[in-house]
C-alpha cells in the first residue's frame, strides 16, 4: 500500500513513543493512525483510493501492550476490499507495523464501515480527517513561540517500521467517540508518505 499517512496522538510534538518509547506528558497512550491509499493491492484485489483508520488506546506505553483498537474502513469499499483491508490490519498477512499493532492491541472492536473526509498536505503540515461519527481530527503547522511563524521539523527514521520520514505538526483537535473515546487539543501530529508491503515499510 502506497499513500498518505496521518498519526495524531495525545503526546507532545515529535511523539516520544517514536524515540525513547514512553508517552509524554501522560502516562498512557491514545490516538489514531490512518491512511489514504493512492495505490495498493492485496493479491489481486485493488485498494486504490480507499481509506482506513485505527483508533488505539493503551493504559501505559504502547510496547507494554494491553491496548484496544477500533478499526474504521471506508464505506465505499466492496465486500472483497473490506475483507482485504481487515486482513491487512489484523497483522496475519505480514507487515511488521500491522503485526506489532496486533500484538500490542489484544482487544479489537468490531470494524465500522464509515464515510471518510480526507485532506492532506504533508509539506504544508495541514491535514483533516473525519470518519463517520467516530473520529474527527485536524492538523496545523507547529509555530515558533517568539514570532508565531511556522516551524518545520522533520524526523528521519531509517529503521522505522511505521514510516521512514515524517513531518512533525500539531493536532489542533483530536475527537474520538464510540467504544474508545477521548478528546485532545494541540498535541502531536505526524504526516508521512508511506509504502507498506508484507515484508515491511519501504518508504
What is the per-residue pLDDT across 167-196, written as a single tens digit (0 to 9) for each? 999 999 999 999 999 999 999 999 999 999
What is the per-residue pLDDT across 58-85, written as a single tens digit (0 to 9) for each? 999 999 999 999 999 999 999 999 999 9
Distance CA 37, CA 150 (A): 28
- Share of residues in the chain with pLDDT > 70 (%): 100
Secondary element (H or E) of residue 15:
none
Mark the ranges of the chain whose per-residue pLDDT is less than 70. Answer: none
Q: Quick check: pTM over 0.75? A: yes
Distance CA 13, CA 194 (A): 20
Looking from the CA of 39 toward its CB, the CA atoms found within 13 Å total: 4
146 class by beta-carbon count within 10 Å (0-12 exposed, 13-18 middle, 19+ buried): exposed
Q: Which residues are within 8 A (CB) of 49 and not within 5 positions of it... i.e. 6 or more apart?
A: 36, 37, 38, 76
Q: Identify which of 104, 66, 101 has the alpha carbon closest to the alpha carbon of residue 86.
A: 101
Residue 172 has a pLDDT of 98
Residue 203 has a pLDDT of 87
CA distances from 68 to 119, 146, 159, 166 (A): 26, 39, 26, 25
Residue 43 has a pLDDT of 93
Amino acid at each position: 500500500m502506497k499513500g498518505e499517512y496521518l498519526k495524531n496522538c495525545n503526546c507532545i510534538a515529535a511523539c516520544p513513543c517514536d524515540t525513547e518509547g514512553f508517552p509524554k506528558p501522560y502516562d498512557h497512550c491514545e490516538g489514531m493512525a490512518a491512511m489514504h491509499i493512492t495505490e495498493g493491492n492485496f493479491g489481486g484485489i485493488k485498494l486504490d483510493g480507499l481509506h482506513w483508520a485505527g483508533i488505539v488506546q493503551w493504559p501505559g506505553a504502547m510496547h507494554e501492550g494491553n491496548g484496544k483498537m477500533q478499526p474504521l474502513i471506508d464505506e465505499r469499499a466492496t465486500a472483497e476490499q473490506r475483507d482485504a483491508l481487515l486482513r491487512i490490519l489484523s497483522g496475519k498477512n505480514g507487515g511488521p507495523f500491522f503485526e506489532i499493532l496486533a500484538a500490542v492491541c489484544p482487544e479489537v472492536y468490531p470494524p465500522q464501515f464509515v464515510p471518510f473526509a480526507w485532506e492532506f498536505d504533508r509539506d504544508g503540515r495541514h491535514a483533516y480527517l473525519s470518519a463517520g461519527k467516530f473520529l474527527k481530527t485536524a492538523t496545523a503547522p507547529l509555530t515558533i513561540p517568539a514570532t508565531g511563524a511556522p516551524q518545520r521539523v522533520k524526523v528521519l527514521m531509517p529503521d522505522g517500521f511505521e514510516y521512514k520520514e515524517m513531518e512533525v505538526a500539531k493536532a489542533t483537535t483530536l475527537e474520538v467517540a464510540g467504544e474508545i473515546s477521548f478528546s485532545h487539543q494541540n498535541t502531536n501530529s505526524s504526516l508521512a508518505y508511506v509504502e507498506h508491503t508484507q515484508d515491511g515499510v519501504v518508504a
